Chain A
Amino acid sequence: MTTPGWWAMALCEAVNDKTPLAVAFAGEELVLFRNAEGQAFALEDRCPHRRVPLALGRVVAAGLQCGYHGWTFDGASGRCTQIPNLRTNEPVPPRYAARAFPVSEGNGFVHVWLGEGVPDIDLPTDDYRPVGQQFTGSTIVNMSHEQYLAAMLDGPECLLNFAHVRMTDFFLGDVRKEHGRLVLERGAVWTTQILPSNFVVDYPLIVRTEVPVQGGSIRVDLLSEDETPLISLAIASGANRRGTTSLCWRGFVHAEVPAKAPLRWRTARVWHKAPFTVNSLIDGSAVAALLEAPSRDLHAARPPRLIPVSAVV
């Protein structure tokens, strides 16, 4: 099956013109870098000469230079443009190339197009519109991508945390499909609240998680009870090797301060304290204990294999 798509694979600021960045998403091992003009490129992290990861090399004017024998690859086409010691009149055959992937930057993420077809204009992170300070990060978690997405519906409290907020697993309705994502809301309370959350008549907070039907772009929002967004996060996710999942994220705090927000939440906000954490270490027993509930819809909606093994030269 061919389901081409954009995958956000890195934060823009993590990709530079000095040190190539190795990433693994959707089972592809890629290397990202920029030229001196700031344009970002993605190549397969494998030199066609002797299969060494190109990420061990360095960025030079002509592209990315492999660290083993110095073959140099053009970022846009992947073509090998230089083999050291060749005479100037000795051309390198065009089929001497590393696989190159289309790249599009937007919303603070470097996106790479996987699969066939003409890349879309729209990016999966387009609904992330930050204002003010952003809180960012990246990690690899010890959980498969499909399970990570499933847990994002069944129990996001295992994967991330909003400061001074306790999520509940009382789902507010069923999973609905909106803009290519499965969306689910659940009640949440301030941790300052004395009574257990089951004594609450109406939840003061809502956590909305949105999990992609295709690709890896997750969105998480903390909303007030009247559905005003308080904190928004875009989390890019994708399968890394050995059943792990690559993540990188950006998030920000909206201008609105809910009337019932506790003092410590307001103070943290004034001091620009991190308003959320995305867990790098995930508690296996907590994940194992999650009941399979809304994620049942995900298994049905999300085709098991999205990216075909691309044809190669």
Chain B
Amino acid sequence: MHAVPSTNETTTGEAPARKLRGDWTPINYDLRDTWFPVSHSRDLCARPIRRIIHAQPYYLWRENGLPIAAEFHPQRSKGEALHLSEFTGGSGFYPVVERYGYIWAWYGNPDAADPLQLPHIPFLPEDGNIPGYTQRTVRFDATSALSVENLIDLTHADFLHANTIGDGISESDVVEVEWTSETVTRTRTVAQKSVAPIMRWVGGVRAKYQDFRAVLHIHLRSNVCISYPRFRPGYDVPNLQPFLPVGKHRSRCDVTFNTTAAPAPFRYVMPRINYIIQPQDNSVVRPQNQRYFEADERLDMHSRFDKPGTRYRYQMEQLAERQAAGQFAYGSDAEPGRDISGLLGMND
């Protein structure tokens, strides 16, 4: 059984309940002034590659080993007049940082770029020194906010992913949500759930039941989803799933599953599980996406199990409204770079 304590409900006043009934328009979020992990570090070399954030082109390459992010192709644009945008302040070059095995490029006003606002990812080495098997690229056929909503949503696993993640039967199952103006954190604590098929067959967990706690910490502007599931008996499967908004219809996810502490073959298999799960998710988010374009007077209906998702929707709407009003600064309650190892339950 799920139970969703509304611990923080009082801190935000009475507005949410009413606002949540408003339609949400995931396809229209174009949130600025944030770092996007545009590529795994290992995918970057001297030959330029192209990424897209919303409609903005990002050409990435290395010069003397250092990453460069530009809005033009260095070879192709020779001799042509370049149309440079406000995203690079007319310089043609985006602020760029390499950390945690990713190239992070700034999307927004370049004067506001500050490496201190890079998310803290406690389970990834800062220098990115992590084996290649932990990293994979998957694509979602939906706008990034719908993809994030799919990730934050727990109740679909029992239906869409029952054969990989397992059924929803457990002794107790508690879901909690916390948030700031820039993040939403969902924590699920489950006691005595039947061991997930992948843990049993690949992970060698012989017990019939296991406890688990899964923390998902979402940076709203950048769709960077930091996830820390801990299975006992079993392993920790910390992972990063950053959804790069490739326009209104698609998102790209360069994931890292840090399974280096788990035994083989689980260590190698787990990072690839997205290849099984992700087509299942795509089968629903793909047709969903077009229906969020249609001006529809019928609002989505919610059950109490949707609390994390509706909170995510509400916080996204709030942030979008602030940005629409020209406020791009980070709120005083939000410090993207703060240490989250405690929040993720890593220190317990």
Seen from chain A, the residues whose Cβ lies within 8 Å of a Cβ on chain B are 46, 48-53, 56, 66-71, 80, 83-87, 95-96, 312-313
Q: A48-B298, A86-B303 are in contact. Are A69 and B288 (CB under 8 A)?
A: no
Q: Does B116 contact A (CB under 8 A)?
A: no
* A46-B291, A49-B301, A84-B155 given; 19 more Cβ-contact pairs under 8 Å: A48-B298, A48-B300, A48-B301, A49-B302, A49-B303, A53-B287, A56-B284, A67-B160, A68-B159, A68-B284, A69-B156, A70-B155, A71-B303, A84-B159, A85-B1, A95-B301, A96-B301, A312-B298, A313-B298
Interface of B is mostly: loop
User: Given the complex, which residues of B lie within 8 Å of A70, measured CB to CB?
Assistant: 155, 158-159
Question: Would you give the shortest CB distance from A287 to chain B, in whole angstroms?
Answer: 29
User: Given the complex, which residues of A lie within 8 Å of B159, measured CB to CB?
Assistant: 66-70, 84
User: Given the complex, which residues of B lie within 8 Å of A80, measured CB to CB?
Assistant: 301
* Contacting residues of chain B (274-306) with chain A, CB-CB under 8 angstroms: 283-284, 287-288, 291-292, 297-298, 300-303, 305
Question: Would you give the shortest CB distance from A241 to chain B, in whole angstroms?
Answer: 11
Query: Closest residue to B153 on the A side, CB-wise?
Result: A69
Query: Closest residue to B303 on the A side, CB-wise?
Result: A83
CA distance A68 to B158 in the complex (A): 9
User: Given the complex, which residues of B lie within 8 Å of A46, measured CB to CB?
Assistant: 291
CA distance A22 to B156 in the complex (A): 22
User: Given the complex, which residues of B lie within 8 Å of A313, measured CB to CB?
Assistant: 298
Q: Does B168 contact A (CB under 8 A)?
A: yes
User: Given the complex, which residues of A lie within 8 Å of B50, measured CB to CB?
Assistant: none
Query: Closest residue to A86 on the B side, CB-wise?
Result: B303
Q: A85-B2, A85-B168 are in contact. Are A67 and B305 (CB under 8 A)?
A: no
CA distance A84 to B168 in the complex (A): 10
B300–A49 CB distance below 8 A: yes
What are 24 A-B residue pairs whose CB atoms fall within 8 Å in the complex? A48-B298, A48-B301, A49-B303, A50-B288, A51-B292, A51-B300, A52-B284, A52-B287, A66-B159, A67-B159, A67-B160, A67-B283, A68-B156, A68-B160, A69-B153, A69-B156, A69-B159, A70-B155, A80-B301, A84-B155, A85-B155, A85-B305, A86-B303, A312-B298
Q: Which of A51, A71, A87 is packed against the most chain B CB atoms within 10 Å?
A: A51
User: Given the complex, which residues of B lie within 8 Å of A53, measured CB to CB?
Assistant: 287
Question: Would you give the shortest CB distance from B148 to chain A, in whole angstroms?
Answer: 13
Question: Would you give the shortest CB distance from B196 to chain A, in whole angstroms?
Answer: 18
Q: A52-B284, A85-B305 are in contact. Are A312 and B292 (CB under 8 A)?
A: no
CA distance A181 to B150 in the complex (A): 49
Question: Would you give the shortest CB distance from A134 to chain B, in whole angstroms?
Answer: 34
User: Given the complex, which residues of B lie within 8 Å of A50, measured CB to CB?
Assistant: 284, 288, 300
Question: Would you give the shortest CB distance from A3 to chain B, in whole angstroms?
Answer: 23
CA distance A306 to B1 in the complex (A): 48
User: Given the complex, which residues of B lie within 8 Å of A71, measured CB to CB?
Assistant: 303
Query: Closest residue to A87 on the B side, CB-wise?
Result: B1
User: Given the complex, which residues of A lie within 8 Å of B283, measured CB to CB?
Assistant: 56, 67
The 8 closest A-B pairs by CB, nearest first: A51-B291, A70-B159, A68-B284, A83-B303, A52-B284, A48-B301, A69-B155, A69-B156
Question: Would you give the shortest CB distance from A284 to chain B, in whole angstroms?
Answer: 27
Question: Would you give the shortest CB distance from B339 to chain A, in whole angstroms?
Answer: 34
Question: Would you give the shortest CB distance from B144 to chain A, in whole angstroms?
Answer: 16
